[in-house]
Amino acid sequence: MSRSTRLPIIDADAHVVEPFELWAERMPAEFAHLIWRREVGDDGREKLFYDGQELAIEWSTGTLSTPGAVQEGGRLDIDIDTEVDEGVRNPRRRLQLMDEQGIAVSVLFPSMMLGLSDMREERIQVAYARVYNDWVREFCEEDPLRLRWGAVVPAEDLAAAVAEGERAISAGASAIMVPPIFNKRQIPVSDPALDRLHGLLSEAGVPLVVHAINPANRCLSIYPHLRGRVQWQMGYSFQNQLATMHVLDSDLLVRHPRLRIGFFEGDIGWVPHWFGRLDATLAKMALVSPRRSTPVLSAFKRNCVMSSDMNDPQLAHAVRYLGPDAVLFASDWPHHDGTWPDPIVAIRDHAELTDAQKLDILVHAPARFFDIDVAALLNRLGPEWGVNSPLATIPPLLPRGRGPAIDAPNVAPAY
């Protein structure tokens, strides 16, 4: 019997890029003036319209959808229609790419709908959530075992959020995605006002994914301080620090002991300091702090996981601190600001991680969190895939290496 040579890597946080025609074709006519819209002028420049206003943005949607595109040598004007791989919006092409990239399962989250909670009208949030969830469900029907989806829910209308969560779970969603601060009323993800949503997820055994969003989102109320590169320097880690603090300092996991929570997109090196400080400040401020009998780290290990930038310089330290079940592989593909250079190579060649830790990060931890049957997956993939495959045989996600996926205009790229 020949030995398997392909490890069934599970990408816990990958993305689709919603086609603009989706909104034009499926959103109710009453919202036509508010939908996401893209125009290209005679000069080739892209204009984006969102929530009834033109956006001032530094890069094009094509650049957003191109790994490493904002690094030196990249471009800010990559065209989404002609220069970005169809795998961002076409499921058949996405599966081909996953085969080339060595990815067995991709759990897919949105791009534009990361900003759902920022939209001003309650009713348009409900409409957007329904349209997106229907579309991404259809996308994943191409291969429901390998393509998984995280649903979005409207933020301002809490009853509508529960109703859409129920609808999405019934349709096969692998997770419900929410922002770190749930809505513009500043409700954190741990707030008892969300108990019906938390209870629904606990009962269904579907995890809650707290996914970082654009730091300029009005729900966060921090955007004046986060311009340009500063958004990426602190905006994403700050959101996960905020969300973990709200969850672990509250009684959410006492009210819902079976609720699984993932904190996605950002670095992870801050975790040991942050969790230790949460315990320390509770002791120092005991008379004005909520009582908590379980130490932060214990509570996190029991119910929570975290994805990470695979090039975080403190990744190995965080893995040792959190343990083998708690850190998930995430590529952020195809966004420009993910783990570049290559996220798979970053784990495969990591000198401070053991082979067992690498296997947990790449396969076992995301499989447990998303309740993926690895045996059924391997049966679907075939004999060349196996959990005992040598780590040295793992192919890179981006075989062209560091830098933007597009080298020149009018090129049909792979990635």
Residue 414 has pLDDT above 60, yes or no: no
Q: What is the pLDDT of residue 201?
A: 98
Q: Which has the higher per-residue pLDDT, 153 or 185?
A: 153
CA–CA distance, 358 with 329 (Å, rounded to integer): 9
Q: What is the pLDDT of residue 2?
A: 55
∠ CA 405-409-411, nearest 5°, is: 65
Q: What is the pLDDT of residue 415?
A: 34
pLDDT band, very low/low/confident/very high, at 254 (cuts 50, 70, 90): very high
- The predicted model scores a pTM of 0.93
Section 86-110 average pLDDT: 96
Residue 272 has pLDDT above 80, yes or no: yes
pLDDT band, very low/low/confident/very high, at 234 (cuts 50, 70, 90): low
CA–CA distance, 392 with 313 (Å, rounded to integer): 21
Section 378-401 average pLDDT: 88
CA–CA distance, 130 with 302 (Å, rounded to integer): 32
Q: Is 176 helix (H, G, I), strand (E, B) or coil?
A: strand
What distance lies between CA 155 and its chain's CA centroid? 18
* CB-based contact 401:360 (threshold 8 Å): no
